């Protein structure tokens, strides 16, 4: 069983856009509710969500494996959201 494997299909798809939107929303909402500390701790929440995706081969769920492009979309989204909140 492989944890890191590309999803079949095109690189640009709605699920990657969803990962990007979640990545933006988490630091923006955390910053709105808890200020700079919320933005600072928001990667921990996203990391926990990503860890949950990696566990799906054993716990069940939508993802049979982790996809690097989904992870990149999350990180890019978080970066944009965090920059918006701290500037």
pLDDT tens-digit readout, 23-82: 999 999 999 999 999 999 999 998 888 888 777 777 777 766 667 888 889 899 999 999
Q: In the chain, what are the domain boundaries?
A: 13-62
Residue 1: count other Cβ atoms within 10 Å of its Cβ. Answer: 7
The model's pTM is: 0.83
Name 22's Cβ contacts closer than 8 Å, sequence gap at least 6.
Answer: 46, 49, 74, 77
pLDDT for 10 equals 86
Q: Which residue has the tokens 């909402």?
A: 29
Q: Which residue has the tokens 């709605």?
A: 14
């Amino acid at each position: 069983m492989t944890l890191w494997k590309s999803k079949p299909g095109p690189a640009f798809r709605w699920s990657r856009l969803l990962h990007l939107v979640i990545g933006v929303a988490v630091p923006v909402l955390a910053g709105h509710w808890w200020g700079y500390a919320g933005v600072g701790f928001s990667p921990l929440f996203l990391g926990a969500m990503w860890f949950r995706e990696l566990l799906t081969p054993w716990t069940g769920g939508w993802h049979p494996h982790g996809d690097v492009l989904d992870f990149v979309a999350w990180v890019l989204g978080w970066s944009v959201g965090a920059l918006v909140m701290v500037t």
